[in-house]
Structure 1
Amino acid sequence: MPTSRRTFAVAAVAALVLPLSACGSGGDGGSSTDASGKVEGDITFQTWNLRANFKDYFEGLIADFEKKYPDTHVKWVDQPGEGYADKISADAAGGTLPDVVNVSPDLVAPLAKAGLALDLDKAAGQYEKEYLDGAWASHRIPGMDGTYAFPWYLNTGPLFYNKSLFEKAGLDPEQPPKTYDEVFDAALKIADKTDGEVATLANVPTIEDFGRYGVPLMNKEGTAFAFNDAKGVQLLARYKELYDAKALDPQALTATPESSGKKFLTGAVAMNPGSALDLANFKKQAPNLYENIGITDQITSTGHVNMYVMGLMVNAQSQRKPAA
């Protein structure tokens, strides 16, 4: 699932986990990078909101693994999407992280800095050749040596829009906006035509929005953020314009992916990012929306889009690293 809109939850992970790096990560030898040895024992495998759509797949995968390694037992735990980062932070602080954890780069970074993520370059470097270079590098942490999660799956994520709301505002439902300026213009028209009852966007801009708008995110050396420049201010000013016109949802400052999704389902918001799996939810929970759903690419003013990356992290404290 897309991970970019969890800014405050990820900050909570860092706030709770990073202090652990100052006092050690457990001290019982479990943090060794040695993953050699017999594949045996009980391990816990945690995924992120995947059971509903992939239950049969994972149960079959686990059955095959346990058949291949009869001295193992895998406990599969699937956590809901909402509050996932908070769950990881609590487990990290309490020393109860599962042996294998579904992570994204932003979630694995504080865990790696705290010594809780296994360095795969040292423990499993022989598998690097099985992946594309960019995929293996996706869970490297700036300022640290090593790779801290196996690449798993990638997602660019579509952008959904409500064709009926576009049509009611006098916009061509078959020609959705492609750039940020086009989105801003359409949003102001929709807000005006609905007297502020329908917003187009439900979230404040994320770091990805700055990048796709054309704002330089890092300096040339890659050592410091650089988006606090004139173009970055310009983007925020446009969002402020939308907020004042009610073209940006009034709850955008405290929105979560779940709350934004609910607003899109009810027709209070005209556009919302998501994944292909959302179509089944639309069909079941909002048939009228499903009949009027439009699908387009991520908004970009640069011609480039971002990639959401998921990985599998091995807990550096696991006592069953070969199995993990």
Structure 2
Amino acid sequence: MTTPRRAPRRAPAALLGGATALALALAGCSTPSSGGSAAGDGTVTITVGDRPSADQAAARAIYDRRVQEFQKANPGIRIEPSETVWDVQTFQANVAGGTLPDVLKVPFTEIQALIARKQVADITDQLKEVGLADRLNPQTVKIVQGRDGRTYGVPVLPYAIGLFYNRALFEKAGLDPAKPPRTWAEVRAAAKAVAEKTGQAGYAQMATENTGGWMLTAQSYSMGGSIESEDGAKATFDDAAMRNALTLLKGMRWEDDSMGTNFLYNMNDIAKDFAAGKIGMFLSVPSAAYQAVVINFDMPKKDVGLTAVPTGPGNDNKVLSGGSVEIVNPKASEAEKSAALKWIAFFDLGKYINQEAAVADAKASAQDGGAVGIPRLSPISPEGFERYKEWIAEYVNVPLENFTGYTDNLATVQLKTEPVKSAQEVYAVLDTVLQKVLTDKGADVDALLREAVATVDTKLARAPR
């Protein structure tokens, strides 16, 4: 899934604090102008998308304040905010009509297709110019590189799926919460123990609103599988990995009776029941799920455990990754591309690369009741992220000791992005497969996968290339 599914932020003041600090840090670093949109006075103007709409008054005010702070620090750059956001149909129209903003966030799932169609700018040189080239996370940079080795975007909101588990239920079931499951076989055994000893669902899975297909994809990857061919032309999930994932879930549901009674969870409802002590384990995005279960649904922090996605059969186990990438208009001039990268460094990465910004953001978040220090996939290099964590250590208010199963593996995990074409349509088809397996004891996994592949292939054939 993409970033709109994450929980809403609770700390708008943090954004303002970070913006102000970074503005000071970037003062005097304006970009020399040349050609493109340079005005007679040398000012370079760029259009920046993703401005919150008027009905989001608080978020819009923060965004506009950050624009002002940036322009104050960079008098040679003028920002023209735009409410344009990613949409597969309007994006194509904007490209064709010449109305695409100079900077816009797009999902991880789309970047390779945009590179192939030459609809994003090569920003390799500008990354070096503004000092970001060596600061980005090499794990996620691979996602935005073309076959030519050049870089075409900046991953700014990356995530890697993890396994949440209820430490209190683990203890009641006689399981050691300090030793969470590392394989899917261990997940099945732990889920059965939780169900038998506590009467609650040992493991639950999202299954609606495309989240079922999303998490099935994560399970397939963790067992060495894939969903589509590299070019997105054909479905590939009728394979051993997906059959193993569905067979595992079928066994947990019908043989072990360890998955409870709700087989139509969405992202919000599964978090709610987990927080209420009704679920032992589930897969999700760490930042979104922690915010939901602790901040929104008041689960005690001490009961929240997070570990790496378990592995299963397959020699190519990977972790599902997603998020947002900032791209630059392919028609942008060199001066505009430089200005765009300065904006991205300020707006998206400021708190990770500037100590003042990091401290201001963390302090404000903590004061506003937000969660500080949730484990996450870093947008910057491991070394830089370690420095960032040191900067904010005083304000961390999450139980990091409960997350070591996740954090100890994060820097070396192999990432695999979501399906490259029509991801949401694919997930919707897989939702149906999952629901059938969980609600029909006689469901034929092989037949369901054959039918699903045929349906997806038809959708992929119709999708724009």
| TM value normalised by structure 2 | 0.47
Instruction: Give the equivalent residue in structure 2 for 1:229.
Output: 239
**1:214 corresponds to which of 216, 224, 240:** 224
Per-residue Cα deviation, 1:84-127 (whole angstroms, up to 9, x for no partner): xxx62364366476542223320334555666x4232xxx3313
What is the alpha-carbon distance in structure 1 between the residues aligned to residue 189 and residue 89 of structure 2? Answer: 43
Instruction: Give the equivalent residue in structure 1 for 2:144.
Output: 139
1:30-45 to structure 2, matched below 5 A, reads 36-38=36-38, 40-41=44-45, 43-45=47-49
Question: Which stretch shifts more, 69-78 or 101-110?
Answer: 69-78
**1:106 corresponds to which of 99, 106, 109:** 109
Per-residue Cα deviation, 1:218-273 (whole angstroms, up to 9, x for no partner): 88999966553334322221112223355346665x65434433332333332233
What is the alpha-carbon distance in structure 1 between the residues aligned to residue 3 and residue 246 of structure 2? Answer: 18
Instruction: Give the equivalent residue in structure 1 for 2:91.
Output: 92
Larger helix fraction of residues:
2
What is the alpha-carbon distance in structure 2 between the residues aligned to residue 91 and residue 224 of structure 1? Answer: 25
The 1:318–1:240 alpha-carbon spacing in structure 2 relative to 1, beyond 3 Å, is farther
Q: Are 1:125 and 2:124 matched, yes or no? A: yes
Q: Residue type of the partner of 1:294?
A: G
What is the alpha-carbon distance in structure 2 between the residues aligned to residue 229 and residue 278 of structure 1? Answer: 29
What is the alpha-carbon distance in structure 2 between the residues aligned to residue 165 and residue 172 of structure 1? Answer: 10
Instruction: Give the equivalent residue in structure 2 for 1:68.
Output: 74
Instruction: Report deviation, 1:283.
Output: 3.9
Q: Does the aligned pair in 2 maintain the 1:4–1:208 contact within 8 Å? A: no
Instruction: Give the equivalent residue in structure 2 for 1:176.
Output: 180
Instruction: Report deviation, 1:68.
Output: 0.8
Q: Does the aligned pair in 1 maintain the 2:105–2:326 contact within 8 Å? A: yes
Q: Identity over the aligned pairs, expressed in percent?
A: 21
**2:325 corresponds to which of 304, 311, 320:** 311
Q: Does the aligned pair in 1 maintain the 2:170–2:194 contact within 8 Å? A: yes
Instruction: Give the equivalent residue in structure 1 for 2:272.
Output: 262
The answer for unaligned runs of 5 or more in structure 1 is 7-34, 80-86
Q: Does the aligned pair in 2 maintain the 1:157–1:276 contact within 8 Å? A: no
Q: Residue type of the partner of 2:276?
A: T
The 1:5–1:42 alpha-carbon spacing in structure 2 relative to 1, beyond 3 Å, is closer
Q: Residue type of the partner of 1:241?
A: G
What is the alpha-carbon distance in structure 2 between the residues aligned to residue 173 and residue 210 of structure 1? Answer: 25
Instruction: Give the equivalent residue in structure 1 for 2:205.
Output: 202
The 1:4–1:243 alpha-carbon spacing in structure 2 relative to 1, beyond 3 Å, is farther
Instruction: Give the equivalent residue in structure 1 for 2:189.
Output: 185
The answer for unaligned runs of 5 or more in structure 2 is 6-34, 207-211, 341-465
Q: Secondary structure at the match of 1:64?
A: helix
The 1:248–1:47 alpha-carbon spacing in structure 2 relative to 1, beyond 3 Å, is farther
Instruction: Give the equivalent residue in structure 2 for 1:156.
Output: 160
The 1:100–1:166 alpha-carbon spacing in structure 2 relative to 1, beyond 3 Å, is same
